[in-house]
Structure 1
């Protein structure tokens, strides 16, 4: 078993907004984008080696020193920004510069190179009819190929599930998570019946999706 402390001391996350130029109210979208990243910086500050930083208004990057909350972090990011769609590249590896904890854009190393390569791969796959599609991909630089294939296959399957969710279903899921997975509190917050919450969670295959997140996190913890 390989360990992150030995082989992958850092995890770079690079993302961008899909079709950002086509978005209406871009100014409002960028403000929401910035607020969401600021919240992640606050909530997960202990996991971060460098804060999530906005780049060019519609892209971002951050650096983790601890991947133990990576999956829930990324899922919260996607839900908070809905209906905005993201591409996210994850790279495991080293840092070759002195780390600037306040500005991830000033850091560089193999983990960033791998994350950027995954963004490019996602963009390329979107243009190819028969390629499998995923909005999140991870690279270990070929050092843990079997883990990498397993993780990216699950990311692809999760993408299939997520693309079928309506904005209302995403709102219910987001509220459900914010209420510590309590259906009754979720219903009260949204002023709907508990049965409506239960129906939404089942119809979205949320429980299967959530199990896949847990599985992914367990696999990542072994890297």
Structure 2
């Protein structure tokens, strides 16, 4: 297949916090939400066509012009917002309005429509207690159904792994990634032994999980 980079010029991400009204210390959680999205906008500013913007207190959306860091961006967002749980829809496509780079809520186009459809599908799946569920889904339209099915199947498998992680395990993984995947530096930051870091990574099947992230990113890069 010839990779035509103009087919999907933009990637919309629309998400929300699951069961946000049930959160303890809701005000502190919303402040953290705003802080992490600000960090995301700063860290990945070169990838963004429009900054991640909060709407209605517990929802957000952003627009990417470069997809090369998409998956690592979303995983870091999840880790930094834990224990809050996220739903996220990803839509590949066009933007049909003039792009407002400071407020993603003012933009619209096929990529946004597809991302919203994925959020709705996740919510529908949760209500039906589907056997196969995911907190992240991607839509690319009718051009690449096989790629889309593969990506969303891996997302579902990743969700099955993530839901088994404890908050402590998530913290260790977050620090591990922030320290260049170095177990000794991670142990020093957390004031624990390197063996404890290694045990946490192995018990979460993190290396298999990380490989699946790379596989999804490589597949998306083919679109």
* Shared fold (TM-score, shorter chain, > 0.5): yes
Displacement after TM superposition at 1:3 (Å)? 3.5
Which stretch has the larger CA shift, 57-66 or 129-138? 129-138
Displacement after TM superposition at 1:132 (Å)? 1.1
Alignment partners' CA distance in 2, 1:138 and 1:54 = 20
SS at match of 2:134: coil
Superposed, 1:55-204 pairs within 5 Å as: 55-204=55-204
Pair 97,174 (structure 1): closer, same or farther in 2 beyond 3 Å: same
Alignment partners' CA distance in 2, 1:194 and 1:11 = 38
Displacement after TM superposition at 1:202 (Å)? 0.2
SS at match of 1:142: coil
SS at match of 1:21: helix
Long gaps (5+) in structure 2: none
Displacement after TM superposition at 1:4 (Å)? 5.9
The Cα RMSD (Å) is 0.9
Report what 1:52 is aligned to.
52
Alignment partners' CA distance in 1, 2:190 and 2:15 = 30
Tell me the number of residue pairs that the alignment of Structure 1 and Structure 2 aligns: 223
Alignment partners' CA distance in 1, 2:187 and 2:24 = 31
SS at match of 1:101: coil
Deviation digits for residues 175-200 of structure 1 (CA, Å, limit 9, x no counterpart): 00011000000000000000000000
Alignment partners' CA distance in 1, 2:199 and 2:100 = 46
Pair 2,87 (structure 1): closer, same or farther in 2 beyond 3 Å: farther
Alignment partners' CA distance in 1, 2:144 and 2:155 = 16
Pair 185,4 (structure 1): closer, same or farther in 2 beyond 3 Å: farther
Runs of 4+ in structure 1 deviating by more than 4 angstroms, as ranges, are none
Which stretch has the larger CA shift, 65-74 or 121-130? 121-130
Long gaps (5+) in structure 1: none
Displacement after TM superposition at 1:130 (Å)? 3.5
Deviation digits for residues 38-64 of structure 1 (CA, Å, limit 9, x no counterpart): 001001000000000001110000000
TM-score by length of 2: 0.98
Displacement after TM superposition at 1:33 (Å)? 0.4
The yes-or-no answer on 1:217 pairing with 2:217 is yes
Report what 2:7 is aligned to.
7
TM-score by length of 1: 0.98
